[in-house]
Structure 1
């Protein structure tokens, strides 16, 4: 009987040990099966990422000089848009134009904050967005000094039409800059790509809205 009792004791001890180990082991983490959708570049469709692509996105990507240059250029581009919207309150004839300009001002200022924060987190220099635009005059959509002066001198309905024409061109220039970033061989770090896609979406919406407003005023 003694050997039998001993064997039973061993079985009981092993059973409790297994229960104890099972209780302390963490439960397996559920695997997400939700698809991850990547926003398309301007003019392209969105697409669902493969598991391998999702794993690659989870790995931080180093930014490049191309990314930093794009951000600094976009800061200057946005700064000129703010200069243009600053003319609206005293010169526009239509309250709809003033409302549009105010929404743009808020949006552009918020985007500039995001761009400056992106540079600061990467220890990149943030150039003053209010600096003269002479060295950025060739950026797509940028108004020349003479064109800015003509906009500032316009009043009433003439101003409304010129403002819409100028801002549509300015927004289209920003879309060109975003497309060039995505087309570059070493640009569009992950976070910047998300920002650029968001900015581009906003610009396209505003272009469509301004085009409709311009058509109403020019017949």
Structure 2
């Protein structure tokens, strides 16, 4: 897959290790100072991907969150620090075999054990990042099979979920249309499929660019 344009990495101490609540807010303030040159734009799009311990918002938990901001033309403007949510061992033990295998290979389970950020602190940091780039309620939630992410956000990070417009921009919709209307184009689509939140966002953005060129033809 072609590597997307190099994103802007916002500086600041955003390590998930050893952070107090005050330390987290200090990091947010420094991050916003760096990003202050990029004013809010209601046309910008918020892309999100999360890794979860399973498929049920009632029984499973969020374990990793990534956010990327693009302009309306899908050019990357900013990338939030990827945050890992601390979860009790019972959540890890409750994962099915697929999740245990996938998240062990990526190292995510170890990062969940090491993290000291709970859902509330991750939610606060991501909100602070978004407030520097996109007004509340203006961007649809962008990603792949994004309804699943929205369900988990509504359950575990409702303030972050509420920051998005109620509409979704779901790349998987275009995939389903391509299967039915123009299946021949799917052979040219290459995805990493790493099941890591940030990598999956860039997969989604690249996939949307592909459909724009080959399906929508803008």
Q: Give the TM-score range, shorter chain.
A: under 0.3
More strand by share: 2
TM-score normalized by structure 2?
0.24
Which is higher, the Rg of structure 1 or of structure 2? 1
